[in-house]
Amino acid sequence: PVAFANTPEPIADAIFALTEAYNADPNPDKINLGQGAYKDNTGSPWILPSVRGAEAKLAQHPPGHEYLHRFGHAAFRRLSAEVAFGAGSRVLAEGRVASLQTISGSGAVHLAAAFLHTLYPNSLVYVPDPSWSNHRVMFEAAGFAVRDYAYYDPQARSIAFDALLADLRAAPAGSIVVLHACAHNPTGCDLTPAQWSDVASVLRDRGHIPVVDSAYQGFASGDLDADAHAIRLLLDELALPGVLCQSFSKSMGLYGERAGAIHVVVHGIAEPAAVVARIEGQIAWIARKEYTTPARYGAELVTAVLSDPGLYAQWREDLVTMSTRLRTMRAAIQANLRELRAPADDNWDHVTTQIGMFWFSGLSRPQALWLRRERHVYLAESGRVSLTGVNEGNVRRLCEAIRDAVE
């Protein structure tokens, strides 16, 4: 046999296939509503002014290209934890958090799965239905059996909260539960603070371990603290031991730089230092076996922003700029669809009640395929629309196409 000739067909990841189809389409009016990467109102990628400031700082004081410590960039680890938990948080003051720099949010989720599997190989992992598709893929790849818990009710276009609680209650004690910190991908539906409290009670009663995936802090509401409500409630205030996976891809527009962190929070031990050190060592050992050390430049940029009060203030403004633009596009989509008398059971209320980067439109797979084929509008077959590709120049045309698709 010829070496490599029997390589099987790879699994096709739908979102990459969609981007490739969009790129291959020669139509100048095509609209890209696939991958979640922020674009400005002209449809161009946006380098945040705060990040531009950080780039200028690094150009003046180049950090060089030495390897990072195996745990990552020291200041980045501390400052990223402060963004998530709050600078004055109890867990940080008490030294309860093991923090390591990762290959962005994906790397954090992967290391969370691999680390948890070393401790709890027989636990079930619960992911929301639906979720970011990589959650299931990564936890299964780590060796876990993965189950869904109810999350979204497509008829009601809202969270299936009673079913969600029932599923988490019915899960075997000590299960691992993946939760989206904010701006749930793909539904755009987040729990209310009261609902988070109810979920926390079930997690505590059942001894479940939360894995909180935070890929959109500041991007949902424009406010870093508001978007950290679930993180801080579960992992600090209510003292649940758990894992936080953190990404700066969206919040700083650093997609290709792969800046992120994993934070493992230890509770129930008065002197956590020794356990925290062992956790950091164990996770670094997993990374050692896979890629040795994380990447430098993105962590330098994040650190430059977070360590400079002026750039930090600019970043908060940048988050408002991005989240406001997306909210404005939601309102424009809703107004246009109503004006065009496009039929919808809720008259398009849900477009503006959802939050974050994605509009979970309820468009069916055939409608999504029709929009692609007939109108050069590229959205996921699940009906998920990345709002980042919508702007003042294309929103009317997009809504006319959607009206034609649903009629």
The answer to whether 382 contacts ligand PMP (rule: CB under 6 A) is no
CB atoms within 10 A of CB 261: 32
Distance CA 221, CA 277 (A): 34
Among residues 97 and 183, whose Cβ is nearest to ligand PMP? 183
Using CB under 6 A, which of 32, 249, 354, 394 touches ligand PMP? 249
Distance CA 350, CA 335 (A): 12
Among residues 215 and 402, whose Cβ is nearest to ligand PMP? 215
Record the tokens describing residue 242, joined without a space: 């758990």
Residue 157 Cβ vs ligand PMP, minimum distance, rounded to whole Å: 20
In this chain, which stretch among 103-111, 157-165, 285-293, 394-402 interacts with ligand PMP, using CB under 6 A?
103-111
Helix extents (H) in 74-227: 74-85, 90-93, 104-119, 133-141, 161-170, 193-206, 224-227
Using CB under 6 A, which of 34, 105, 356, 389 touches ligand PMP? 105
Question: Rg of the Cα trace of the chain?
Answer: 21
Which residues are marked as active site? Answer: 132, 213, 250
Listed in sequence order, the residues at least 6 apart from 274 whose beta carbon sits closer than 8 Å to its beta carbon are none
Q: Which of residues 57-96 bind ligand PMP (CB under 6 A)?
A: none
- Strand blocks (E) in 280-345: none
Among residues 89 and 131, whose Cβ is nearest to ligand PMP? 131
Listed in sequence order, the residues at least 6 apart from 135 whose beta carbon sits closer than 8 Å to its beta carbon are 109, 127, 146, 178, 213
Residue 215 Cβ vs ligand PMP, minimum distance, rounded to whole Å: 4
Among residues 185 and 314, whose Cβ is nearest to ligand PMP? 185
Q: How far is CA 228 from the centre of its chain?
A: 13
Residue 258 Cβ vs ligand PMP, minimum distance, rounded to whole Å: 7
List the one residue out of 189, 172, 250, 241 whose CA is nearest residue 211.
Answer: 241
Residue 255 Cβ vs ligand PMP, minimum distance, rounded to whole Å: 6
Site string for ligand PMP, 150-189 (x = CB under 6 A): ------------------------------x----x----
Q: How far is CA 383 from the centre of its chain?
A: 18
Per rule CB under 6 A, count of chain residues that contact ligand PMP: 13
Residue 29 Cβ vs ligand PMP, minimum distance, rounded to whole Å: 26
Distance CA 70, CA 73 (A): 8
Among residues 164 and 266, whose Cβ is nearest to ligand PMP? 164
* Residue count of the chain: 407
Among residues 255 and 348, whose Cβ is nearest to ligand PMP? 255
Using CB under 6 A, which of 71, 126, 132, 360 touches ligand PMP? 132
Residue 384 Cβ vs ligand PMP, minimum distance, rounded to whole Å: 11
Amino acid (one-letter) located at 96: R
Residue 398 Cβ vs ligand PMP, minimum distance, rounded to whole Å: 22
Using CB under 6 A, which of 34, 72, 260, 272 touches ligand PMP? 260
Using CB under 6 A, which of 199, 211, 215, 279 touches ligand PMP? 215
Q: For residue 386, what are the β-bridge partners? A: 358
Using CB under 6 A, which of 175, 247, 386, 388 touches ligand PMP? 247
Using CB under 6 A, which of 34, 36, 272, 389 touches ligand PMP? 36
Element spanning 232, H or E: helix 229-232
Helix extents (H) in 179-308: 193-206, 224-227, 229-232, 273-290, 297-306
Q: Which residues bind ligand PMP (CB under 6 A)?
A: 36, 104-106, 132, 180, 185, 213, 215, 247, 249, 255, 260
